């Protein structure tokens, strides 16, 4: 009976964590470039149960009962890297990447984070700092194709679909692009940034064909609000079902202790 407590409780914890993940997705439904998290649920190792029965002639005989699951847990969260829709802002410093529809992977803007490492983002809501560098909303320097910060004189610059930045007809730099053939290798680092293990860097994205850089557009979040709300209701109902199972076990245990124990 106590084993049932642990099984029901693990289900409640898993659904609570899933609800937290879905709530975070909803809160970022209007965050440019945000990629919705998905949960991966997994059961704990199963136990094979059996019992021993005495036989008058052959002694004890083992009989198989079957397997018993010992609960479930949320193994990991994985971002969904489907491209979000484009929203026109008509702001020069807003950039978005349009991936090749036939490509396996995705492209990312490289930025230099506050800890000095290179990270990646799909949020092209950039601005120009006081000293003339192109930065993210959190102040991280946007890098060019050679890994250097991009310096412009102001926001009156042009970015071609091929990624070349010009100002007053003068070439300034080519905005950097990193290509992740398997985006699942990227880990979220906060502020809409992604990183690789051991601070590794993605290969140059300009080796890929079919992409475009669109100036004056932002990539919207790919959160499906209707589906997310439905998933939250489902997680709540599952949590509630496990809660009722836990209450039933508690009532049974109470009866065994208080009533059966008196006999």
Give the chain's radius of gyration (CA, Å). Answer: 27
* Interval 185-208: pLDDT, tens: 899 988 899 999 888 999 999 988
C-alpha span between 29 and 24 (Å, rounded): 9
C-alpha span between 188 and 35 (Å, rounded): 10
**Angle at the Cα of 57 (from 53 to 62), degrees rounded to 5?**
25
How many domains does the structure of the chain reveal? Answer: 2
C-alpha span between 249 and 247 (Å, rounded): 5
Q: How far is CA 74 from CA 37, 40, 43, in A?
A: 12, 6, 9
CB 178, CB 53: distance < 8 Å: no
Supply the pTM of this predicted model: 0.80
CB 40, CB 76: distance < 8 Å: yes
CB 34, CB 218: distance < 8 Å: no
Q: Is the domain of 46 the same as that of 128?
A: no
State the 10-residue block means of pLDDT for the chain, 263 residues long. Answer: 76 92 94 92 72 64 70 84 93 93 88 93 94 92 95 91 94 95 89 90 90 95 95 93 86 75 56
Q: Is the domain of 211 the same as that of 257?
A: no
The domain containing residue 104 runs over which residues?
86-219
Q: Is the domain of 45 the same as that of 109?
A: no
Q: Is the domain of 101 the same as that of 211?
A: yes
CB neighbour list of residue 129: distance below 8 Å, 6 or more residues apart? 135, 139
* Interval 112-138: pLDDT, tens: 998 889 999 999 999 999 899 999 988
Q: Is the domain of 180 the same as that of 199?
A: yes
């Amino acid at each position: 009976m106590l084993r049932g407590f642990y099984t029901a409780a693990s289900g409640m914890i898993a659904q609570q964590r899933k609800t937290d993940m879905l709530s975070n997705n909803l809160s970022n439904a209007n965050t440019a470039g945000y990629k919705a998290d998905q949960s991966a649920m997994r059961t704990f190792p199963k136990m094979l149960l059996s019992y021993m029965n005495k036989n008058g002639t052959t002694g004890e005989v083992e009989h198989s009962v079957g397997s018993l699951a010992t609960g479930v847990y949320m193994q990991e969260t994985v971002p969904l890297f489907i491209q979000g829709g484009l929203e026109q802002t008509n702001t020069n410093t807003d950039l978005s990447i349009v991936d090749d529809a036939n490509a396996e992977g995705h492209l990312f803007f490289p930025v230099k984070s506050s800890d000095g490492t290179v990270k990646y983002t799909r949020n092209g809501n950039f601005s120009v700092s006081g000293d003339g560098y192109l930065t993210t909303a959190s102040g991280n320097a946007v890098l060019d194709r050679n890994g250097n910060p991009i310096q412009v004189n102001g926001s009156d610059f042009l970015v071609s679909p091929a990624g070349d930045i010009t100002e007053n007809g003068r070439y300034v730099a080519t905005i950097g692009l990193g290509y992740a053939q398997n985006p699942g290798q990227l880990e979220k680092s906060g502020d809409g940034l992604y990183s690789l293990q051991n601070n590794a860097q993605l290969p140059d994205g300009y080796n890929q064909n079919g992409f475009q850089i669109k100036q004056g557009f932002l990539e919207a979040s790919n959160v499906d609000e209707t589906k997310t709300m439905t998933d939250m209701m489902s997680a709540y109902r599952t949590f509630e079902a496990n809660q009722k199972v836990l209450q039933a076990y508690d009532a049974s245990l109470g009866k065994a202790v208080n009533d059966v124990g008196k006999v």
